[in-house]
Structure 1
Amino acid sequence: MSSAHRARAQARDPDNRLWWRAHRIRLEPEALRDAMLMTADALDLRPMESSVWYLGDQATAVGDNKNRRRTNFPCRSVYLPVIRNDLPELFDVFDFANPHATTGLRPDTMVAPQGLFLLNDESVMQAARQTAQHVLASETTDEQRLNYLFARMYNQPCSAADQQQLLAFLRDIAGQAKTSDNPDPQLTAWSLVCQALFAASRFQILD
């Protein structure tokens, strides 16, 4: 079902009681993480043998874990370890189910710490850098690269307004990077673009 707006249907059924359009759905933290890895061409779809083998008894013991759980596996999020008192940071910030109790319905929030996480977390920056490396190797012009990114991330072409803003941003960041000791100003600029697109609501919401 499409979520596209139709003026006639909106006028007759503004509350969507007859389900003439789909509701927008926000990605759960597992899907958000998988989407970033998939965009970066870094997601390993094969199931892992074990993601808790290194924890020993700490995987099930009560109390503080001496060994921190790891989340740097490139597998799908469903295979990551869920240690009750040591959730992965992305899960903790983006409304993962409470591991201490039965959860019939997850909370659905959109708060400032989530945006800060997408702008500052090392795993997000790494995915953005890998995406930038991929797009720089795949396309030849900046316009083609932006269209490729929007198709891959948002399943839509880059609009003229978005393209104008992002091209200006690229020129500005690349110019700043050239004045520093940055060995690859182009990669730095495109990494920031990819990270900004990850942090946008269009990436986090299935429309």
Structure 2
Amino acid sequence: MIVTSATYQQTSIVSAELITRDPRNRLLARQSRIRLEAEAIRDSSIQSAGVLSTKIGGRGVYPPQPAGIYVLTQQKKAWPESQGNDRFRRGMYIFFWRSSPYPLMPTFDAPEASVTCTRRSRSNTPLQALTLANDRSFFEFAQLLAEKILQSDATSDTDRIRLAMQRTLARNPTPFEQTRLQAFVDAQKTWYAKNPQHAKTVAPDFLPANWELSDAAAWTALSRVLLNLDEFITRE
């Protein structure tokens, strides 16, 4: 009931008058702008791609993680990479080694498991943007989002861009954003058409018969951009 209330769904944009009258937001006349927690960032990306598993309970899961995580630990630990729906379960079910946690978690300020934590602090570091742009899991989420776009009933790039924005940011693009995103997609199509060897590594596995590989790779690139936006990982 809280998240569906009018109070919770307010914008964090504030007027000068309101700042003067209620600087600490005691009256709850606006939302508080905060970056999502580590688990919620991953869950939001999976949900945007349309593959989030809502299964409740069960064993911990092992999503993809970079190689070499356990090189500096006392002993090598097993990380049997999950497949199927388990690969896309919510972040709260990720198996947690105290000495070497899943890298996404500490990057986005998840607490250590070896000490008591009463409050999560939030940081803002370049590594966070690099993780969203280059992490294996987020790259896979971008490919799956591109699949959704390719499989949709949209008949034009304009509609496909609008769909991508709706799935990631829950809104339609402004005219300026529409123009910039269209220019980006066009540039990516041109580049991947000239570099098909790279398009093969980027394009999603699903490719409709009427689509060129370069086109599919371009939509994966657009998906990566949207999933890496500050607006995507921030509760406005």
TM over 0.5: yes
TM-score of the two chains, using structure 2 as the length reference: 0.77
Aligned to 1:192: 221
Structure 1 residue 137 corresponds to structure 2 residue 151: yes
Structure 1 residue 64 corresponds to structure 2 residue 85: no
Shift of 1:136: 1.6
Shift of 1:64: 2.5
Secondary structure in structure 2 of the residue aligned to 1:149? helix
Secondary structure in structure 1 of the residue aligned to 2:180? helix
TM-score of the two chains, using structure 1 as the length reference: 0.87
Aligned to 1:56: none
1:124 maps to which of 138, 143, 157: 138
Aligned to 1:57: none
Which one has a larger percent helix, Structure 1 or Structure 2? Answer: 1
Aligned to 1:33: 42
Aligned to 2:162: 147
> Structure 1 unaligned runs (5+)?
54-61
Letter in 2 for 1:97: P
Q: Deviations over 1:162-187 (max 9, x none)?
A: 11111001111100111122351111
2:97 maps to which of 80, 83, 87: 83
Structure 2 contact 12–33 (Cα < 8 Å) conserved: no
Q: 1:89 to 1:71 in 2, by over 3 A?
A: farther
Shift of 1:107: 1.9
Shift of 1:86: 2.1
Shift of 1:49: 3.2
Q: Deviations over 1:131-189 (max 9, x none)?
A: 01111211221111111122221121111111111100111110011112235111111
Structure 1 residue 93 corresponds to structure 2 residue 107: yes
CA distance in 1, matches of 2:187, 2:61: 44
Structure 1 residue 5 corresponds to structure 2 residue 34: no
Q: 1:71 to 1:161 in 2, by over 3 A?
A: farther
Aligned to 1:115: 129
Letter in 2 for 1:3: T
Percent identity over the alignment? 25
Structure 2 contact 54–89 (Cα < 8 Å) conserved: yes
Aligned residues: 199
> Structure 2 unaligned runs (5+)?
1-6, 63-72, 201-212
Shift of 1:68: 3.1
Structure 2 contact 61–82 (Cα < 8 Å) conserved: no
